[in-house]
Amino acid sequence: MNDIIMNDVIILGSGPAGLTAALYAGRAGKKTLVLGGDRLGGQMAGIAKLENYPGFLGSGMDLAEFMKQQAESFGAEIKFVGAKSISGDAASGFNVLGDDGNRYVGRTVIIATGASPRRLEIDGARELMGKGVSYCATCDGFFYMGKDVIVMGGGNSALNDALYLADQAKSVKIVYRKGAFTRAEAVLRNRVAERENIECLFNTDLKKIAKRDDDKLVVTTTDDKEIIVDGLFVAIGHEANTDYLSEDVMRDNMGRLMPGEMPAGLFVAGDVHSGIKMQIATAVGTGCEAAMNAIAYLNSMQ
Catalytic residue numbers read: 136, 139-140
Q: Is 117 helix (H, G, I), strand (E, B) or coil?
A: strand
32: nearest Cα among 8, 61, 60: 8
Tell me how far apart the alpha carbons of residues 194 and 157 are, in angstroms, rounded to a whole number.
18
Q: Which residues contact 250 (CB under 8 A, 6 or more apart)?
A: 257, 258, 261, 262
Q: In angstroms, what CA-CA distances link 89 with 54, 86, 102, 241?
A: 37, 9, 18, 21
Tell me how far apart the alpha carbons of residues 148 and 167 are, in angstroms, rounded to a whole number.
12
